[in-house]
Structures are given as C-alpha cells and as structure tokens.
Amino acid sequence: MIIDNILLVFNYLFAAAMPVTHIGGYLVSILSVAFIWRYWGKLYDEPVFSWLLLFVVYGMLLVPISGDPKSALGTMAGYLTHWLCPFILGYAVFDPAKARRALWIYFIFFSAVLTLSLLAYFGLFAQVVHGNFFLVEDRLLKAGRSHIALGALCVFISFFMTGISVYSKEAGIKRLVPLIGAAVYVFALVLSGSRSYYIAGFLVYVSFAVLWAVKNGMAKYLLIGVLVLAAAGGVIYRYNPAVKYRITRTGPSDDNVADRFYLYRIAFQEIKARPLFGFGPGQGIKQKQYFEALPSGKQGLDRHPALHSFYLNLAADFGLAGLIIFVIIMAHIFLRLAAVMSDKESQVNLLAFGLFWGLAGLLIGDCFDTLLRGPGVAMELFWAAGMIFRISKKDEA
C-alpha cells in the first residue's frame, strides 16, 4: 500500500511537472522503475511493454558498433526515458478515479500555462516568464515548449475535451462546455504556427468528423460544421499576419521546407546504404559524407538534431528492423485503445478516445518532424497509454 501511494504521488508529480519542465518528468519516471517489481507480473504480460523493451535492447546492441558510441548511448537513454520509463510510471496506477485525477492535474496545469500564453499573445502578459521559458516567440504561441510540440498537444487535449462531450450522458450546456474547451485548443493550435500540425490536425479532425457523422446518422450536419470551420479559418488567416505569413511562405522558396527535402534525400541515401540495421542510434544526422555532397550553402544541415521525419530518421538510425518494431508497438497501442473506446463499461473510454486521436495526429505530424524521439510530447503520451492499459485489464485486485 505504501509503495502504491508513492507511485501514485510520482504520477501526480509527473502530471504537475510536465507542463512546466520535462526535468521533473524525467526524475519521477526514472525513480518509478525502482518499484517495478510491485507490478512486474502484469507489466510483463503487456505486449506493448515487451515490444518497448525489445526496442531499447535492440538499440543498445547497436551502440557498440555505431560510429559514435557515446552519442548513440545518449540517444538510447533518450528512448528509454521518453518511452519506456513514462509507460512504466503510468502503468503503476490501477484505480480509474486516480488515473483520471492524474490526467486532470496535467490538463489543468497545461491549460493554466496555455491561458497565460494566450494572454501574452495578445499583449496582456509577459511573453517570457523566465530564461528560455517562452510563452510566445516571434508571434508563435509556444506555452513553454516548441511551437510544434504545442501543436501536437493541442490536438491531443482537444480530443480529450471532445471525448468528454461524446461520452457524456448529460445534455445541453454540460456537453457544450467541453466542446468550447476543445475549440480553444484548436484556436491555440492555429496560433502555434506549426504547419506540420495544421496538416495533422486537419486530417484527424476531418477523419473523426466524417466517422462520427456517418455512425450517428448526422452526415447532413457535417457540411455545416465544415463551413463554420472554414469561415473561422478564413477570419484567422485574414486578420492574423503571423499565421498568414507561415502559410503563404510555405513552398520551395522557404528555407525550412527546402532544408527538409534535402534531409529527406540524405535519409533515403542512408537507408539504401544500410537498410537492415542502419547507422546506429542518433547517427543518421552525423554521416558527413552525405552532407558534404549537398549543394553549396546546404552542407551545414547536419546542425539539425535529426533528419526532420521521425520515420526516415528511425530507419536511418535503426534500419528497417527498428522501423518494424516501432510499427508493431503502434499497432498494439491503437488496437488496445480502439477496444477500450468501444467498451461502454470502460471507466477510461474517453481517455482512450483522446489518446487514440491525439496519437494519430502525432504520427501524421511526425512525417515532418521528430517529436517522438525528443522529450515532452512522447513522454506524456506513453505515460497516458500506461495508465489506460493497466486499468483496461479490469482484473486488478
């Protein structure tokens, strides 16, 4: 009981810390591993845990044969602390009410930071709180992290809010309020200026709307919803210069876009050179022979921390073997979440709903970025997955 309470406190601390700093999330998730024996039997029977562990072990086996073993080891420490440790921490919570409380703590703290960021965006609060904790920078909403990471989390939390309405048994205003909250997060996504998540958000929102409208026989309202969203988007585009600039400059003449295409070209060359096992963890961006062959002025692209597409970066680092393991991990996660969502007796179906669509958005967005390999977003989503998976077993004594 004492250990269970300690692990529960760790989860609450993780929830409160992550909206402000991922350092606190690192600390408590790593500490939680010391108590893994308390629920090892259930965790060991969890396929996602087994595949996550396999991925970490596989990556560690590649470290000694990588070109730079020290940086390769650092990369694997990242995957361990961004994927496996948060999943283990979340899996320690076996009470649905406590899991919801932990997630609500996270959402409340994150919403508080987002509210201050929105105020800062409109000149009603300081844009920089302390050091590098930017609420707004260059007219991009950030909420203390990169604008891309904020975009990903806005998709996730907006679907959590939508799930409250979808699964609510109440009517009227009690179903409307969470939808208003979801709209605020969509608005924040727009102000983030993350073009990756403009694409990802659009695709998952439309996919959900179509599926929901068809399932509930309300297809006629879908067109109305699309028109309303299009009108709102048009107003924001017309009267927000920062958003308009981000959209209109997107194209071959945009250095950010052009650089991505050069990095993708390098990734394909590296995958072709070492298709099965790759160059080693974190080594895809370090293969100078490929960067030196770029046109003059583009040879310094190895300054980027990764190859700007999680999947290409993963294949260049870990080969097709690593990419296959990742696909299996994601397949297990989505199948479990789909099952929990459809279970009317589940006490965490709305949490599964939010994570299902939020993770779908992240996977789309990571075609153009590498949030899954960094701190922050991946930690929060794997933590939530751990809680949902533990509770959905329904056999905790």
pLDDT tens-place string over residues 224-246 = 666 666 666 676 666 666 666 65
Mean pLDDT for 344-350 is: 80
pLDDT band (50, 70, 90) for residue 298: confident
Provide CB contacts within 8 A for 182, sequence distance 6+: 158, 159, 161, 162, 165
| Cα–Cα nearest to 114, from 187, 213, 5 | 187
* Residue 211 or residue 88, greater confidence: 88
Q: Within 10 Å of residue 223's Cβ, how many Cβ atoms?
A: 10
pLDDT tens-place string over residues 123-139 = 999 999 877 899 999 88
Distance CA 365, CA 178 (A): 25
Q: Dihedral, CA atoms, 35, 331, 392, 102, nearest 10 degrees? A: 60
Query: Residue 358: what pLDDT?
Result: 94
* Mean pLDDT computed over every residue of the chain: 88
Query: Residue 396: what pLDDT?
Result: 46
Q: Evaluate if residue 365 carries a pLDDT over 50.
A: yes
Q: Which two tokens stand for residue 168?
A: 């609510």
Of 4-18, 163-177, 364-378, the least confident: 163-177
**Residue type present at position 380:** E
Domain ranges (residues) in the chain:
2-253+303-391
The residues pairing with 137 across neighbouring beta strands, listed in sequence order, are 140
Distance CA 345, CA 288 (A): 55
Q: Cα dihedral sign for 175, 339, 379, 369?
A: negative
Decide if 329 contacts 87 (C-beta within 8 A). Answer: no
Decide if 82 contacts 375 (C-beta within 8 A). Answer: yes
pTM above 0.85, yes or no: yes
